Structure 1
Amino acid sequence: MNHEQMDIKTPEYVSLQFSLAGLGSRAAAFIIDQLLLMMFNILCIILVIFIMKGMSSFPFFLEENTVPFAIAIIVIFIINWGYFFAFEFFYGGRTLGKKWMGIRVIQENGHSITLLSSFIRNLMRIVDSLPAGYFLGMLMVFFHTKHKRLGDLVAGTVVVHERGTKAKKKPSGIEKEILNRGLSKEDLIIDEWALRSLGMKEWKLIRTYAGRFVQLPVAERKQLTGQIAEIMLPKIGVVATGHSDIELENLLLLLYLHLREEWEFEL
C-alpha cells in the first residue's frame, strides 16, 4: 500500500523520509485505544459500585454519599487523558492502538516526541474533539497536507507509519555478528532520559561504527572501539574504562540496537 511521503532535512544535513499516516489508520488506532479505555472505565464503575455496597453496611455511611463516585470520575479523567500523554512519550510515540496499527508520533524534525510536545498535543484533544465525536480533529487530518490535527499543529508533531518489515532479506554483516554474539537489546538497560538525550549526531556515529565493524582489521577495530566508547558510553551512564575490548564492542553494539529502533526508518 502506498502512503504519502514526507522528507525531512535534519540539522545535521541528513535526509529522512517518512510515510505519513492518514485518517484511516489514525482513526483505527484511536478506536482501539478508546475500546481499551472504555473497558477500564467500566471496570472502575463496577468497582465503585461494589465498594459502595460494601460501605453501606456500616452505620456511619450515608447512601447518598457521592465521594466514591467523585473519586472514580477524577481517576477515570486522569487515566483517559494521561494514557495518551504517557504512552506517546514513554513508548516511542505509540499508544497501544498506534502500535497495533504500526504508526507513531514524532517531531516534525524527525526526532522523538518530547515531554512538552506530548503534553501540548494531548491537551489539545479537548479542542480536537469538538463539537462531538472528534469531528474537528478528523476534519483537520483529512484536509491537512500532512494529515495533522490541531494538536499536531500546535505541538509541532506528525504521525507516520513505522518502517515495514520487508520481505526476508539476507542479514547484513553486522546483524550476523550481533546474532553470533547472542546480543539483544535487553542485555543493556538504558535510562529513558539518557536514551532521549542522544540525537541524530550520536546515531550517525554509532551507525558508522556498526557499518565498518566487520570489515575492519582487529587492531583498527580495537582502536576505533576505544575512541567511540569514550564518546558514547558516558552519555548513557556507563564508564568506558575497566572493560575488556570484547565488552566494549558488545556495549557499543547493544547501543546500536537501541538507537536503530529509534532512528532507522526504512520505508
Structure 2
Amino acid sequence: MNQEQMDIKTPEYVSLQFQVAGLGSRSAAFLIDLLLLTIVNILIFLIVLLIMNGTSPIPFFMFENTIPLAIMIIVLSILNGGYFFAFEFFSGGRTIGKKLIGIRVIQENGHSITLLSSFIRNLIRIIDSLPTAYFLGIIMIFFHSKHKRLGDVVAGTIVVHERKMKRKKKLSAIEKEIQNRGISKDDFIIDDWTIKSLGNKDWKLVSTYASRFTQLSLEERNQLTKQIADILFPKIGLEVAGNNEADLENTLLVLYLILRDEWEFEM
C-alpha cells in the first residue's frame, strides 16, 4: 500500500500533517531491531556459557547449579520485553531501527508517546505476533487505513515518518541572538524524565519568552527572566539564586532549544 498523508488537529488547535509509515518501512525497522536483539542475546548466552564452563569441565547443560542459567533467562526476558517499550518512551518514539529508517511512534493527537501508551502498544505486541512471525500485525498494518497494528489501535498511537524542520534562509531574531551568544542545546544536559515532566504550558511559557526576548527593554527582560526562571528552574532541578542575569537568560534560551525539538512541529 502507498504511504499516505494524514492531517492531525492537536488539542491546541494546531493542524499538523504527517506521512504515515507503511508496512515496508515498519518491517525494515523491526528487522534491524530484531537483528540487534539477536546479536545481544547471543553475546549474553556466550558470556554465560564461558563463565560456567570456566568453572568446571562439565558441559553447561549438565550443571546441577542452574542459578546462572536462571539469571540469564530473566535478563534476556527483561531485555527482549523491555527494549521496544524503553526506547519508544525515552527516545521520542524511536527504537534504533526506527531511528535508522526515519520513522517514529506518536500519539494520534500529534504529541509524543506517553508512558502508558508505550506500555500498552508493546504489551499488545504479544497478540500482534500471533500465530507466528507477526502474521496478525502484518495483516492489520497492510489493510488498516492508517497502517496500524492492534497495539496502535488500543494505545491510540500511530507510526509516522520523521518530520525535519525546514531551515529558514533567514534566521529569526531569537535564532540570531542565540547564535551570537554561542550557546546550543548541548550546553545543558537534561534527562528524559525531566523533559517528559515539562508539559505544553511550560513549552508555551518558554517559547513566549524566546519570542519576546529581543523586543523587551533591558529592565523588562531582566524582570521577565527572573519570573520565568522562578517557575521553571525548580522543575528542572536548578536554583535561581547565585546566577546573574546573563546565566539565567542563557539557561532559559537553551531550555527553549531543547523543548523546541519536543514540541514544535513543521506547519
State the TM-score, normalizing by the size of structure 2: 0.87
**Map of 1:45-194 to 2, 5 A cutoff?**
45-57=45-57, 63-65=62-64, 67=66, 68-164=68-164, 166=166, 169-194=169-194
Cα distance change, pair 117–66 in 1 and its aligned pair in 2 (3 A)? farther
Partner residue, 2:206: 206
Distance 2:8 2:203 in 1: 16
Partner residue, 1:8: 8
Distance 1:250 1:201 in 2: 20
Cα distance change, pair 120–56 in 1 and its aligned pair in 2 (3 A)? same
The alpha-carbon deviation at position 72 of structure 1 amounts to 2.5
State the TM-score, normalizing by the size of structure 1: 0.87
Distance 2:165 2:194 in 1: 28
Distance 1:261 1:173 in 2: 18
Distance 2:61 2:26 in 1: 46
Cα distance change, pair 12–240 in 1 and its aligned pair in 2 (3 A)? farther
Map Cα deviations across residues 44-88 of structure 1 (whole Å, 9 max, x no partner). Answer: 222232223223238xx9835472444333322221111111111
Cα distance change, pair 199–14 in 1 and its aligned pair in 2 (3 A)? farther
Partner residue, 1:233: 233
1:17 aligns with 2:17: yes
Q: State the superposition RMSD in angstroms.
A: 2.6
**Map of 1:25-44 to 2, 5 A cutoff?**
25-44=25-44
Stretch deviating more after TM superposition (185-194 or 40-49) = 185-194
Stretch deviating more after TM superposition (9-18 or 78-87) = 9-18
SS in 2 for 1:82: helix
Cα distance change, pair 14–231 in 1 and its aligned pair in 2 (3 A)? farther
Aligned-partner residue type, residue 92 of structure 1: G
Cα distance change, pair 3–253 in 1 and its aligned pair in 2 (3 A)? farther
SS in 1 for 2:210: helix
Aligned-partner residue type, residue 129 of structure 2: S
Cα distance change, pair 159–30 in 1 and its aligned pair in 2 (3 A)? same
Question: What 5-or-longer segments of structure 2 have no aligned partner?
Answer: none
The alpha-carbon deviation at position 165 of structure 1 amounts to 5.6
SS in 2 for 1:159: strand
Partner residue, 2:222: 222
The alpha-carbon deviation at position 200 of structure 1 amounts to 2.1
Distance 2:121 2:79 in 1: 16
> Are the aligned partners of 2:128 and 2:150 in contact in 1 as well (CA < 8 Å)?
yes
Distance 2:155 2:61 in 1: 46
Distance 1:98 1:263 in 2: 20
The alpha-carbon deviation at position 35 of structure 1 amounts to 0.8
SS in 2 for 1:214: helix
Distance 1:89 1:208 in 2: 27
Stretch deviating more after TM superposition (209-218 or 123-132) = 209-218
